Every structure is written in structure tokens, then in C-alpha cells.
Chain A
Amino acid sequence: MGTSVFYFVATLSVIFSLLVIFSKNPVHSVLYLILTFFTFTVHYVLLNAQFLAVVNFIVYMGAIMVLFLFVLMLLNLNKDNEPLKSNMVKIVGVIAGCCLLVTLIGSLKATAVSDPVLLRNPDLGLLKNLGKELFGPFMLPFELSSILLLSAMVGAVLLTKKEKV
């Protein structure tokens, strides 16, 4: 049952991510992105990582995407004010896309089917275990990343200030 659910949700996430790219209206794009994140949440639940699932739910779906939607609603983008793209840009885009495709195919060729990774502790994603891992062996990277986020925050505040600082 687990695998069939996985394949169903995986198909959904692929479809929704494609819709993000192909929908003309940016607001619709963002809404599809939210659905994509929701399928990711389901993936986390299937992997027994409840904490990550809920955090993904709160932070990505509940906060970041709300801000995205917020900005896009204010911008009111539609077909009329879309900037005209020159042919040059299109050609460059096609070349870049082909390069990416070639790289992807190459990397796919290089990979071999690996053995499924067996977790020593399948309940690693549960709240208590994850907390112990994060504040035990991974203390330093965890704290460093929080400092990184703090500096990003300070930077963002500085950017909004006027020049006279």
C-alpha cells in the first residue's frame, strides 16, 4: 500500500510542478506551487518524518507562499504588461535549456541503481529523536545555520533603510 500511495503522490507532485511552469497567470502558478508543497508534505509523512512534514506545512505553505501570493497579488501581472521578449533571449533560452538537458541525461547515464538506504532508526523523523540529533551531533551546523539566517535578516532590514546609515 505504501508504494502505491507513494507513486500516486509522486505523480501528483510532478503534474503540479509542471503546471507551475506552464500556467500563464503567475497567481495560478503560485497556487500550483502550494499544491506541490502539499504533496511534499505527504511525502514526508510517508517517510515517517512528521516534524519535517509539519514544518514544511507551516513554513513553506503557511508563510513563504503566503508572502509570494501577497506580492504577486499586489503586482497584478497579466498578459498586457508582460515585457516583450526579443528573439535573442529566446535563442539563449533554448541553448541553456538544451545544455541542462544534456547534463541531466549525462548524469542519469552515470548513475547506477544504488541499494536502498536502510536507516538504522526508522523513527528518526519523530520529534524527540530529531531534536536529540540536531542538538547532539549536529549542534554546530544547526547553530551556524541559525546565525546565517540572522545575518540574512539583518541584511534585509539594512536594505530597506535609507542611505544615510
Chain B
Amino acid sequence: MEPLTSKKKVLAQKPLSFAERMYLPAILKGLTVTISHLFKKEATIRYPEQEREFSTNFRGMHSLKRDESGRERCTACGLCALSCPAEAITMIAAERKPEEKDLYREEKYASVYEINMLRCIFCGLCEEACPKEAIYLDGPIVPADYLRKDFIYGKDKLVEQPLNNKL
């Protein structure tokens, strides 16, 4: 059959020449390649001490944001839980009492807000769904742990530090 393009290359399988059958030149060539790598700089990053530079749109651990005066922005509307394709987010809403006015920005807030990090796929849809700009995936890599229950992160781990505690 006529080839449609001129890109076809015919490979001829020539029998090995004597030098090739001796293996030795090829082996020496290989050895020089590997030994040259002995003097190259290693590409390893010693992880816990050194960290790789992440790109600006890296999605890591979630954080629940506060507003300028240090009140939690989340209003427990449930849009993040609804948008989550992995169903990792659960929350329980509560009504704000008058004396908690400087703790929560809206009249409704999330008394319990849990993300199961084993289910989460870090797609960032919760971030996009949030109308209050309360959740962002701007944290570090979620660390490993031994028990499944320890991967369910509550508000203690997710909510941003209050402003006065911040450096």
C-alpha cells in the first residue's frame, strides 16, 4: 500500500557488528553516563525542612476566613457542601446571639464546620461557590496521620487565626 505521508521511516534490522556484539564499548559508554551523574547536583528537596515553591494557584488545605474586624465570614449557607463533588463538607448552622456580634459577621453562622480531608479532592469548587468569600484553599499540604478520625478537620483547624493573634 502506498504510504499517505512521507513520514514513514524504514528501519533496517542490521545484524550487530563485532564491536557491538562484544558489549564492551556499549557498557563503557553506559558507565561514563552514570558516573557523570555522580557529580551532578541532586534534585532532592528534603521535605519537612525545605519546601518546594508552590505556584500561585496551588490548592492546599482549606481555611475559613475572617473579615477586617476579625469576625468569621461564613454564614453556613451550605453552598460549599452542595457544590462539593466528593461530599466532604458538613456543617451545622446556628443563630448568632446579640453578645456574639463581634465574633460572627452575619446573623447565622456555622457552629460546626467539618471537612473530611480523606474525601476532599482539592478541586476548589467550594471556594468558587462561596458567596461570602469565606473559604479558600490557600493552606499548605494536608499532613499525614495515623487514624481516619483525625482527618476530619473541624473549625479548630480550619478557621483562620484572629487578627490580634496574627503576626
- Chains A and B in contact, CB within 8 Å: no
Q: Tell me the A residues contacting B by CB distance below 8 Å.
A: none
